[in-house]
Amino acid sequence: MTEILLSLHVLAAIVAVGPVTVAASMFPPAARRAAGGGSDAGAVGTVRLLHRICRVYAGVGVAVPVLGLATGSVMGVLGSGWLVTSIALTAAAAGVLAAFVLPRQEELVEQLADRGSVEHGSTVRLALFTGLFNLLWATVTVLMIVRPGSTTGA
Ligand code: HEM
């Protein structure tokens, strides 16, 4: 049972968080390029698609903490420090994505569609929040593998 849950948890992390990382990182430069090219419909379409990938896979990504909590409870490790820290960091990453990254992407997509331009500063701020999101979940991945303080640690 533990093996199945853990496999699904890791699979969900790869399948869901991977695409969000790539698409979210590509979004700010793609938005700047689309703005530079006037109202190039293809470039705006790319930006819209990147946002859609982020939104859809963020939804799929909810499975990661759900399966993680199930794995942790079956293993009886939910109280361990490394896991409590991981849960807090996962919540912080989800918060940054839901409160800053996705809404700002949406604003930029609308601006591009409406007036074919974006404010340079807003793409820079978005890139900052995207970097923070990536840093948070990458830290969680390291914690998941190293499990500091755990006797089953790597
Ligand atoms: C609420 C959040 C989460 C919980 C409760 C959770 C829980 C767990 C548990 C209990 C394990 C098994 C550790 C062991 O074998 O002793 C695990 C492994 C793992 N988790 Fe998570 N997890 C969470 C979020 C994440 C996130 C956000 C990622 C990456 C995006 C992630 C990636 C991994 C990976 C790669 C492993 C395999 C580590 C290994 O076996 O070497 N987890 N997780």
Summarize pLDDT for 75-128 with one digit per residue, the tens.
999 999 999 999 999 999 999 999 999 999 999 999 999 988 999 999 999 999
| CA 114 to centroid of ligand 1, rounded, Å | 42
**pLDDT for residue 139 is more than 60:** yes
What is the rounded CA–CA span in Å between residue 39 and residue 2? 52
The Cα–Cα gap between 87 and 138 comes to: 13
pLDDT (mean) for 51-63? 98
pLDDT above 80 (res 47): yes
Supply the DSSP symbol for 121.
H
Measured between alpha carbons, how far is 103 from 78 in angstroms, rounded to an integer? 32
Q: State both tokens at 39.
A: 């109202």
Residue nearest to atom 22 of ligand 1 (CA): 68
> Ligand 1 center to residue 58 CA distance, Å?
17
Q: Is the pLDDT of residue 38 over 90?
A: no
Confidence band, pLDDT 50/70/90 cuts, at residue 41: confident
> Residue for token digits 């701020």?
125
Q: How confident is the model at residue 152 (pLDDT cuts 50, 70, 90)?
A: low
Closest residue to atom 30 of ligand 1, CA basis: 13
The ligand 1 atom nearest the CA atom of 93 = 27
Q: What pLDDT was estimated at residue 39?
A: 56
